[in-house]
Amino acid sequence: MIVAAGLFLLAARPVTDPDVWWHLRTGQLDIQNHRLFHADPYSFTRAGQPWIDHEWLSEILIFALYKAAGWGGLILGFAALIAGTFLLVFVRCSGQPYVAGAITVWGAIASVPSFGVRPQMLTLLLACIFLFVLERSYERPRLIWWLLPLMLLWVNLHAGYAVGLGLIAVFLLGDLLDRALGSLVPQQSPGRVRYLILAGLACAAMIPLNPYGFSIYRYPIETLRSRAMLAYIGEWASPDFHEAKYIAALLLMLAVILLPALSSRRLRAREMLLLAVTLYAALRSVRHIPIFVLVAVPSLTSLIQGVLQKGDEPPSLKRPMRPASVKLAFNITLLAAFLLFAGFRIHYVIRHQPEAVAKDFPTAALQFMATARLPAPVMNHYNWGGYFIWKLYPEYKVYIDGRADVYGDSFLDQFASAYYVRGQSWQTGLQKWGVQTVVLPPDAPVITALSIEPGWQRVFSDSEAVVLTRR
Q: Nearest to residue 163, comparing CAs of 277, 284, 9, 302?
A: 277
Are residues 371 and 306 located together in one domain of the fold?
no
The tally of CA atoms less than 13 A away on the side-chain side of residue 324 is 0
Total domains in the chain come to: 2
Check the CA dihedral 302-304-310-311 and report its sign: negative
Predicted structure pTM score: 0.91
Q: Are residues 293 and 399 in the same domain?
A: no
Domain span at residue 254 reads 2-317
> CA nearest 24: which of 117, 113, 116?
117
Indicate whether 254 belongs to any domain. yes
Same domain, yes or no: 13 and 143: yes
228 closest CA partner among 384, 423, 415: 415
* Strand, helix or coil for residue 434: coil
Q: Do 280 and 415 reside in the same domain of the chain? A: no
Whether residue 306 is found in the same domain as residue 418: no
Residues 189 and 297 in one domain: yes
CB 437 within 8 A of CB 379: yes
Tell me if 26 is assigned to some domain. Answer: yes
Per-residue pLDDT tens listing for the chain (471 residues): 777 888 888 899 999 999 999 999 999 999 999 999 999 999 999 999 999 999 999 999 999 999 999 999 999 999 999 999 999 999 999 888 889 999 999 999 999 999 999 999 999 999 999 999 999 998 888 899 999 999 999 999 999 999 999 999 999 999 888 888 876 665 566 678 888 999 999 999 999 999 999 999 999 998 888 888 888 888 999 999 999 999 999 999 999 999 999 888 888 889 999 999 999 999 999 999 999 999 999 999 999 988 887 655 444 444 455 566 777 777 788 778 777 887 888 889 999 999 999 999 999 999 999 999 999 999 999 999 999 999 999 999 999 999 999 999 999 999 999 999 998 889 998 999 999 999 999 999 999 999 999 999 999 999 999 999 998
Residues 375 and 457 in one domain: yes
**346 within some domain:** no
Q: How many CB atoms lie within 10 A of CB 414?
A: 21
Domain boundary among 258, 293, 317: 317
Same domain, 101 and 241: yes
Question: Has residue 331 been placed in a domain?
Answer: no
Residue 38 falls within a domain, yes or no? yes
Q: 141-159 burial string, b = 16+ CB within 10 Å, else e?
A: bebbebbeebbeebbbbbb
Domain closes at, from 317, 351, 378: 317
Q: Establish if 327 belongs to a structural domain.
A: no
> 97-111 and 2-11 helices cross at what angle (nearest 10)?
0
One domain for residues 159 and 97? yes
Domain boundary pick from 259, 293, 317: 317
* Helix axes of 192-206 and 147-157: crossing angle, nearest 10 degrees: 30
Same domain, 190 and 84: yes
Q: In what order do the strands lie in the sheet with 456-461?
A: 378-380, 437-440, 466-470, 456-461
Residue 344 lies in a domain: no
Same domain, 370 and 302: no
Examine residue 354 and state whether it is found in any structural domain, yes or no.
no
Separation of alpha carbons 280 and 303, rounded Å: 20
Measured between alpha carbons, how far is 90 from 421 in angstroms, rounded to an integer?
49
Residues 20, 118 within the same domain: yes
